[in-house]
Structure 1
Amino acid sequence: MTITVPSTPYPDQKPGTSGLRKKVRVFQQPNYAENFIQSVFDAIEDKDGATLVIGGDGRFLNREVIQVAIRIAAANGFGRVVVGRGGILSTPAASNMIRIRRALGGLVLSASHNPGGPDEDFGIKYNIANGGPAPEKVTEAIHARTLTIDRWLTVEADDVDLDTDGETMLAGMTVEVVDPVTDYAELMRKLFDFDAIRAAGLSMAFDAMSAVTGPYATEILERQLGFAAGTVRNGTPLPDFGGHHPDPNLVHAHELYKTMMAADAPDFGAASDGDGDRNLIIGRNIFITPSDSLAMLAANAHLAPGYRGGLKGIARSMPTSAAADRVAAALGIPSFETPTGWKFFGNLLDAGLATICGEESAGTGSDHVREKDGLWAVLLWLNILAVRGQSVEAIAREHWATYGRNYYARHDYEGVESDRADALMTELRSKLGNLPGRRFGDLTVEAADDFAYEDPTDGSVSRNQGIRVLFVGGSRVVFRLSGTGTSGATLRVYLERYEATAIDGDATAMLADIAAAADAIAGIVRHTGRERPDVVT
């Protein structure tokens, strides 16, 4: 029997670029998670008898919210819920599961690379039938419903045993608990030459950061590809990620970085984040920026079985460096510059306009799913290394010699007071018309705008996606506020300098004049009170 629980709206449930993310204690408020899940179901159609996928990254509160979501799904008429054993499904594996099960959609319970634990972060994201994040028209409908919701629906039932594979019935709905790794691993075997990787004799270190990728990496890297036991570090998902920040960058994966810079470093190093959709790529004695990784993967993708037919196009988020654009031009295929957020790539992938996509925030992926995919990027790199028989450094230097080098860095100012961050962006927008022609040191502003994107597949327009200041010669600085945090604001400043022949410089030194110009243009120190960024990637 369906139970109707009266409720009142919470005013703070507007989904961001990756769903609703808040502190755990916010989600633990009475009716908070329930209101949002019910709002999702109220905003979508064709639920009766449909299949819904549910899974998460194993962080604190994951299991409890899954049980709540299963009961709400039953009360709303779903016919089947597919859930990963233990409540585990990486974000790319969830996308794949939605697609192969022809589900109406899925709930992905994660706050991605944000910390986990009772005092940290939690999140809920709805993915649609193509496996990708809900587009803006859906998230806007969800948000509108959260502001008027007066009840949520549930059923009276015992908790589902999430640790045993198989089917059970719950209030007339089938709940199927599945191995979270099997279907994803099968997809990877179709895309990559596992025999060639095994035969190459490569050594590697992979840091799963006590997050969701651990079981996937252990099965694929160690069991199926034959890498040595212990190749996967921190491979057991923990509710608090072992007390660490599961963001695969040079700050939070510093131990891996030290391993790869040592004299006895393995051939290849990589890491993934909390929900498995981001990646860090490090070769022996060389870090590959996410922007460069996207370009290098695209240039070499034809070496993997899944991409031997060539690429249809390459897409990147606006803050990501233009390195991939140069590869697209050389291949004679289109390149697309989109706002930040994987949902913008989904339309391009569905329309067959792009094959490989990437973001500077360590996310790359292809048309195999509709999410970025950390382990996919690692496996494509391994396939390339195996076929080319060269080191990561040799491949990178050959790439730069061919295409030139886009020196690149992202400066994050985290937890900035929201009013200060907003004031900086408001003042900056007011200056845009007066910036062209102005000089900052040796740099001359060629153009400045607030990036807007018209989707070539449906004509929708997304405005105010970040401020771009473009300098003569191909360098630039981009300013935007991140939508992935849970408190305050993160100001992200992206620095980029293109050099056609000077490919051996130190990135920090090469970007110093861009960084100085960024502060002069935006008044970063004046507005934020910060003398330096909290994280540089």
Structure 2
Amino acid sequence: MTFKSVETQPYPDQKPGTSGLRKQVAVFQQLHYLENFIQSVFDCVGDVSGKTLVMGGDGRYFNEEAIQRAIKMAAANGFARVVVGQNGLLSTPAVSHLIRHRSASGGLIFSASHNPGGVNGDFGVKYNVGNGGPAPENITDAVFARSQVIETFRIAQAPDVALDALGSHDVGGMVVEVIDPVADYADLMQKLFDFAAIRELFKAGFTMRFDAMHAVNGPYAEKILEGMLGAPAGSVVNKVPLPDFGGNHPDPNLVYAKALFDLMMSADGPDFGAATDGDGDRNLIIGRHQFVTPSDSLAILAANAHLAPGYNKGIAGIARSMPTSAAADRVAEAFGVATYEVPTGWKFFANLLDAGKVSICGEESAGTGSHHVREKDGLWAVLLWLNILAKRKQSVAELVGEHWATYGRN
């Protein structure tokens, strides 16, 4: 196996945003553009010899090609193991969990989140650190600085890895482990939520519609909601991840998930509706005739989290982004716990989560999560809603109305 050092030239526009580097696909297809950024990351994270790196993406156009290049670069840079989802798929919260579960040094996430996909769409790369969360600003600033002076990148001269089948492969002495993208995440969800109660909810005739938006959470939702929890077959729609998300915009809001909203507002709509975005970290929650804002969803989840086994000892605190309403603050006041306000960007929740100061986090742009990972988690929010509905034995509209009566409407 030959490791090659390839000469390259810097690109001036590789400064990561709040969640990695996002550009149009055509930009990433420029000569060595992707390799420059990945090498800059590897150059800024210290000695990686003997360490594990997690990789996966949302299945958008250019995903597998980018992962194949990144695997070869990881081998040439000295990683001992790469853990990658089958077909290159891993949701962003699943990557965060795997980093923590496998004690990996970090992970590369190939996604542009809720941005459109396809050959004329967007692509992105984000590095998450050893706690499972997005790289903090000191690392992203160093990566950008490195990208401005990069002269070479290192890559293995090796054939592509077969990502379509589970198994292990050798790339230049580095182990590449192709795993079921859902299994470890599903195991974690079983520990957090009362699956038996949710199964009974569905057995009693409860109905739902989950729109996976032809994005990464399709396989996760089908396995967990229909396969493990007994939601009726067909409850999960648009469940096959597609490179262009079926020509749609994978953003779970009232513009791009209007079909779901219209169904939920109809006379014969299901009891519960939900959707998640391209990489599976954002969520939309709608009850029959009841839209739930992201701010209200955060507050209601925090107020009722104790009904789930993973949170039955209560919450340590709540954190929210600055633009998020104060609905969660009212819950924190009633529970006698602290509220923390942070800038927009999930990376700013990580220190609070690591310090054990908060259990539940959320932001105005439809992101909610908890201490189980260091990313927002769309399917986690859906499952916590289901757990709460199963225990409270109320409709979404009844639950929201009672919450407003108790805590006020913010």
1:252 aligns with 2:253: no
* Alignment-derived partner of residue 39 in structure 2: 38
Offset of residue 46 of structure 1: 2.5
* Alignment-derived partner of residue 398 in structure 1: 402
Offset of residue 343 of structure 1: 0.5
Offset of residue 88 of structure 1: 0.1
Q: Residues of 2 paired with 1:211 and 1:26: CA distance?
A: 22
Deviations 1:126-150 (A, max 9, x none): 0000100000011011011011101
1:107 aligns with 2:120: no
Write out aligned runs for 1:352-363 (5 A): 352-363=356-367
* Alignment-derived partner of residue 96 in structure 1: 97
Give identity over the alignment, percent: 68
Q: Residues of 2 paired with 1:272 and 1:71: CA distance?
A: 31
* Alignment-derived partner of residue 139 in structure 2: 138
- TM-score normalised by length of structure 1: 0.75
Give the number of the structure whose alpha-carbon radius of gyration is greater.
1
Write out aligned runs for 1:418-429 (5 A): none
1:288 aligns with 2:289: no
* Alignment-derived partner of residue 169 in structure 1: 170
Q: Which of 227, 230, 233 is equivalent to 2:231?
A: 227
Q: Residues of 1 paired with 2:81 and 2:219: CA distance?
A: 25
* Alignment-derived partner of residue 283 in structure 2: 279
Deviations 1:137-164 (A, max 9, x none): 1101101101110110001100000011
Deviations 1:220-262 (A, max 9, x none): 0001000111100100000000000000001100010011001
4+ long deviations beyond 4 Å: none
SS class of match (2:175)? strand
* Alignment-derived partner of residue 371 in structure 1: 375
Q: Residues of 1 paired with 2:290 and 2:231: CA distance?
A: 21
Q: Residues of 1 paired with 2:122 and 2:24: CA distance?
A: 4
Deviations 1:186-211 (A, max 9, x none): 00000000100111232100000000
Q: Residues of 1 paired with 2:169 and 2:154: CA distance?
A: 20
Deviations 1:431-465 (A, max 9, x none): xxxxxxxxxxxxxxxxxxxxxxxxxxxxxxxxxxx
SS class of match (2:107)? strand
Q: Which of 382, 386, 390 is equivalent to 2:390?
A: 386
* Alignment-derived partner of residue 242 in structure 1: 246
Q: Residues of 1 paired with 2:345 and 2:243: CA distance?
A: 26
* Alignment-derived partner of residue 75 in structure 2: 74
SS class of match (2:149)? coil
* Alignment-derived partner of residue 124 in structure 2: 123
Structure 1: state its 5+ residue gaps. Answer: 407-537
* Alignment-derived partner of residue 84 in structure 1: 85
Letter in 1 for 2:13: D
* Alignment-derived partner of residue 5 in structure 2: 4
Letter in 2 for 1:70: I
* Alignment-derived partner of residue 330 in structure 1: 334
Q: Residues of 2 paired with 1:249 and 1:185: CA distance?
A: 25
* Alignment-derived partner of residue 309 in structure 1: 313
- How many residues align structurally? 406
Offset of residue 299 of structure 1: 0.3
* Alignment-derived partner of residue 13 in structure 1: 14
Structure 2: state its 5+ residue gaps. Answer: none
Moved more, 24-33 or 192-201: 192-201
* Alignment-derived partner of residue 59 in structure 1: 60
SS class of match (2:242)? coil
- TM-score normalised by length of structure 2: 0.99
